[in-house]
A and B are shown apart, each in its own frame.
Chain A
Amino acid sequence: GDSVTQTEGQVTVSESKSLIINCTYSATSIGYPNLFWYVRYPGEGLQLLLKVITAGQKGSSRGFEATYNKEATSFHLQKASVQESDSAVYYCALSDQGGSFNKLTFGAGTRLAVCP
């Protein structure tokens, strides 16, 4: 079946430093999956951060970027300069166009702690 693997556990970054959270995926359908990054801020629900549905394209939101690399089957999340308010849990996810109706397959989540 489909699977998503992302940077495990917690990542600690100092404020204003750069960030990368790795995400690789495996999808069973013949076509290319849609890729997403979701975020859960402390005390809040899961919300979509960005999505890319076309291979080779880049998505961006709130200073975060991720590029859909179909050759490497990767969708790494990057930010040039993190802020303390970025502290949250980040989830990489895919929906397989040939699979279940809108089923999202998630990675395990990466907790980002930004230190002042």
Chain B
Amino acid sequence: DPKIIQKPKYLVAVTGSEKILICEQYLGHNAMYWYRQSAKKPLEFMFSYSYQKLMDNQTASSRFQPQSSKKNHLDLQITALKPDDSATYFCASSQGLGGSSYEQYFGPGTRLTVL
């Protein structure tokens, strides 16, 4: 059974619209993350959460808003979508944040295309 679920797998949106990417983890982890991979670019860190609190935000735009309704959920709301937001978005989780050595487990990703 998949341990990190991301929904939907594929998403097509129009410019200016708003979408929510869903992430749920069933590993009992306390920390969750979002990464993004645009075409021909490396995976890029976006956010880290620990016990449902934002720990780090490395996105330049407030259009990206993580939402954590439960400890094992970290959704990503994206508003005013732009074609440059087209990417695969990966959710990840780890047992904790301390020590920087905790293994991060990744979900399968949501591929977003903005037309």
Query: Which residues of A are at the interface with B, using a C-beta cutoff of 8 A?
Result: 4, 33-34, 38, 44-48, 51, 53, 91, 93, 95-97, 100-109
Contact = CB atoms under 8 A, between A and B. Distances in A.
Task: For chain B, give the interface size range.
Answer: 20 to 34
15 contacts: A34-B100, A47-B106, A51-B101, A93-B43, A96-B100, A100-B48, A101-B31, A101-B50, A102-B31, A102-B33, A102-B48, A102-B100, A103-B56, A104-B43, A106-B44
Interface of B: 4, 31, 33, 35, 40-45, 48, 50, 55-56, 58, 90, 94, 97, 100-109
B101 A108 contact: no
B36 to A, nearest CB: 11
Contact of B4 (A4, A34, A38, A45): A45
Contacts, number: 69
A45 B106 contact: yes
Given A103-B45, A104-B43, A106-B43, A44 B108 contact: yes
Contacts of A33: 100
Contacts of A107: 42
Contacts of B109: 45
A6 to B, nearest CB: 9
B56 A101 contact: yes
B104 A102 contact: yes
B74 to A, nearest CB: 14
Contact of B97 (A46, A93, A101, A105): A101
B58 A103 contact: yes
* Interchain residue pairs A-B with the least CB separation, the first 5: A46-B106, A106-B43, A45-B108, A100-B56, A106-B42
A5 to B, nearest CB: 10
A101 B108 CA distance: 22
Contacts of A104: 35, 43, 45, 104
B90 A51 contact: no
Contacts of A109: 42
